[in-house]
Amino acid sequence: MLEITIFSLLNGTVYGLLLFMLSSGLTLIFSMMGILNFAHASFYMLGAYFGYTISSHIGFWPGLIFAPLIVGVMGALLERYALRHVHKHGHVAELIFTFGLAFLLEELTQFFWGTDQQAYKGPSLLDFPLFTLFDANFPAYKAFMLLISIGIFLGLLLVLTRTRVGLIIQAAITHPNMVNMLGHNVPFVFMATFGVGTALAGLAGTIAGPVMGTYPGMAHDLGSIVFVVVVFGGLGSLAGALVASLMIGIIQTFAVGLNYSVSDFLVTIGVSFPADHFLHDIWTMTLPQVAPLIPYLMLILILIFRPMGLFGTRET
Amino acid sequence: MSDVKTPMLDVRDLHAFYGKSHILQGVTFTVGEGEIVSLLGRNGVGRSTTAHAIMGTVDRHGSVLFRGEELINLVPHDIARKGLGIVVENRDIFPTLTVRQNLLLGVKNIRKAGRWSMEDMFELFPNLRERADVMAGVLSGGEQQMLTMCRTLMGDPDLIIIDEPTEGLAPKIVAQVASLLEEIARRGVSILLIEQKLTIALKISHRIYVMGHGHIVFEGVPDDLIHDESIRREWLEV
Ligand SMILES: Nc1ncnc2c1ncn2[C@@H]1O[C@H](COP(=O)(O)OP(=O)(O)OP(=O)(O)O)[C@@H](O)[C@H]1O
Ligand SMILES: [Mg+2]
């Protein structure tokens, strides 16, 4: 049990911080544009694919640098030359645009790389167990992911709260016109924030690709969880995104690790049901089997009991 | 720099629109170097829209010359960087940032010292110094008004547009606002003051314009307006 607890906490934190790398960008972009960018996770996917392609030619480390950069530049250009124009036609047009873009990017990925999972590998430098506990290994690569995520989180926090640019971003989110009239180039700040947000998604893909798989459905698989994270944490709230990312990351990882079912629990308190009972399938369903449902369950619960999300200020 | 005869701000035949509604229908006026000019009028005649049309935050056409340079095709941050500043009417402070951070955001160029330093602001309004590190959202209405004016001054404008700075304030605070306006003028900043009441406008303005629906209906010095009862009755007093 202790083993499961320690490893689930560690793995859950790795997964949770990865979710934060995506949800922080998504929620910042939401605060600025007022819409959810459905294509956000597609940039995560592109990060993994670009990382894979670059790493297979010149190695993992250059990929780690260049893949997120390329993705960030793509994001900035997208804001500047597409979204800014679509924005004039209202939120619905923007939503449909990002929705279509997500499909387009998935199709393009399949067109260029095919539908198979890619053999994207982490660096051999980190290909060893960092420590072994109760006969289980904790790979050095995961510790590396953890370090990068924490670094990104601290960097984001510092820039947003301690620098002039961060102040301008914070003010521009709520009062773009006023900040603009004070002489700050708000359209550029928006483009740059969009670029950084997508670059973070790309970075998440670049470092997660080797462990979570690099395949065309990866944007869709993680995208829906990230969507849950930002709604659960409260749309537009960075603190909410952090708490929700860690919660969902850790809860889901625990659920996968705990191989128990309701009937196991009932047996310990002396209740048992015959194997032909009509609810037998439900009693014996194990936690790992329901783990994928947990985020959506949390989404439904928060929408019923606190529709603005944990830290949100507006109704969703 | 600028010819003595050309006004600092020269607005000609300015039109502005909110969607399909045509709000400004040919507004023409000038503000000279070092002058305090008031733009008066009743609710809804388009005074704030005039301010926003000059700053480039509404759809507009016509001509806005600042020291002879056309601003009509520029974006708001470039207009601000030409030397214009605005204090909007709804006290648009950044409520989740501190007083100090609000002031810092007013600075356009951190490498160049302007007419005003943060220390000047704190000297003028000791209240702001005391509350320098609290969230601006918890300040009183009067303090928020001072903060928005100081924030714009931190950007060292050569011409400042101030929209209804005394609205809803206690007489004591109104007096403070008036003395700040005089201090601004003393440091060589031109002022376009937008007001509804005559109280401070008559006292401090060099010239006055009165706006009707979407255009200027009166132009003169304060004395002219004091003696022109029909204009006051038709366009100002309720
Ligand atoms: N954002 C907006 N969208 C549509 N119409 C607007 C908007 N802002 C102002 N208006 C309209 O434009 C007209 C002029 O408004 P403006 O704010 O310029 O008036 P004002 O002279 O400043 O008066 P006051 O500040 O007392 O309301 C009004 O009829 C107002 O209803
Ligand atoms: Mg007004």
Token duo for residue B219: 């132009």
Token duo for residue A304: 């019923």
Taking the C-alpha atoms of residue B66 and residue A43, their distance in angstroms, rounded to an integer, is 45
Residues of B in contact with A182 (CB under 8 A): 80, 85, 105-106, 108, 151-152, 155
pLDDT greater than 60 at residue A65: yes
Contacts of B154 (CB under 8 A, 6+ apart): B103, B104, B106, B107, B114, B116, B118, B121
* Interval B178-202 mean pLDDT: 91
Q: What's the pLDDT tens digit per position in B79-97?
A: 999 999 999 998 889 999 9
Q: Are A310 and A302 in contact (CB under 8 A)?
A: yes
**A164: in domain:** yes
Of residues A316 and B119, the one with the higher pLDDT is: B119
Looking at the complex, report in whole angstroms how far the Cα of residue A152 sits from the nearest Cα belonging to chain B. Answer: 23
Looking at the complex, report in whole angstroms how far the Cα of residue A270 sits from the nearest Cα belonging to chain B. Answer: 56
Q: Are A280 and A273 in contact (CB under 8 A)?
A: yes
Which superfamily does B7-235 belong to? P-loop containing nucleotide triphosphate hydrolases (3.40.50.300)
Say what the pLDDT of residue A311 is.
Answer: 83
Say what the pLDDT of residue B1 is.
Answer: 46
| Centroid of ligand 1 to alpha carbon of A190 (angstroms) | 27
Say what the pLDDT of residue A315 is.
Answer: 46
In chain A, the number of structural domains is: 1
A239 to chain B, any CB pair closer than 8 A? The answer is no
**A313: in domain:** no
Say what the pLDDT of residue B5 is.
Answer: 63
DSSP 8-state assignment for residue B232: I
For residue A248, give the CATH number of its domain. 1.10.3470
* Interval A137-142 mean pLDDT: 85
Q: What's the pLDDT tens digit per position in B142-155?
A: 899 999 999 999 99
The whole-chain average pLDDT of chain B stands at: 91
Cβ separation of A177 and B108 shorter than 8 Å? Answer: no
A173 to chain B, any CB pair closer than 8 A? The answer is no
A170 to chain B, any CB pair closer than 8 A? The answer is yes
**A316: in domain:** no
* Interval A277-304 mean pLDDT: 80
Q: What's the pLDDT tens digit per position in A225-252?
A: 999 999 998 888 888 889 999 999 998 8
**A58: in domain:** yes
pLDDT greater than 50 at residue A1: yes
**A314: in domain:** no
Looking at the complex, report in whole angstroms how far the Cα of residue B153 sits from the nearest Cα belonging to chain A. Answer: 10
* Interval A205-209 mean pLDDT: 92
Say what the pLDDT of residue B87 is.
Answer: 96
Say what the pLDDT of residue A261 is.
Answer: 74
Taking the C-alpha atoms of residue A77 and residue A45, their distance in angstroms, rounded to an integer, is 18
| Centroid of ligand 1 to alpha carbon of B22 (angstroms) | 11
* Interval B196-221 mean pLDDT: 90
The whole-chain average pLDDT of chain A stands at: 87
Of residues B78 and A126, the one with the higher pLDDT is: B78
Rounded to the nearest 5°, which phi and psi values hold at B91? Answer: 50, 60
Say what the pLDDT of residue A153 is.
Answer: 87
Taking the C-alpha atoms of residue A231 and residue A311, their distance in angstroms, rounded to an integer, is 10
Of residues A119 and B62, the one with the higher pLDDT is: B62
Taking the C-alpha atoms of residue B237 and residue A287, their distance in angstroms, rounded to an integer, is 75
Residues of A in contact with B76 (CB under 8 A): 177, 180-181
Taking the C-alpha atoms of residue A93 and residue A77, their distance in angstroms, rounded to an integer, is 18
Give the three-class secondary structure for B205: coil
Q: Give the residue numbers spanning the domain of A219.
A: 2-305
Complex confidence, ipTM: 0.91
**A312: in domain:** no
pLDDT greater than 60 at residue B32: yes
| Centroid of ligand 2 to alpha carbon of A303 (angstroms) | 40
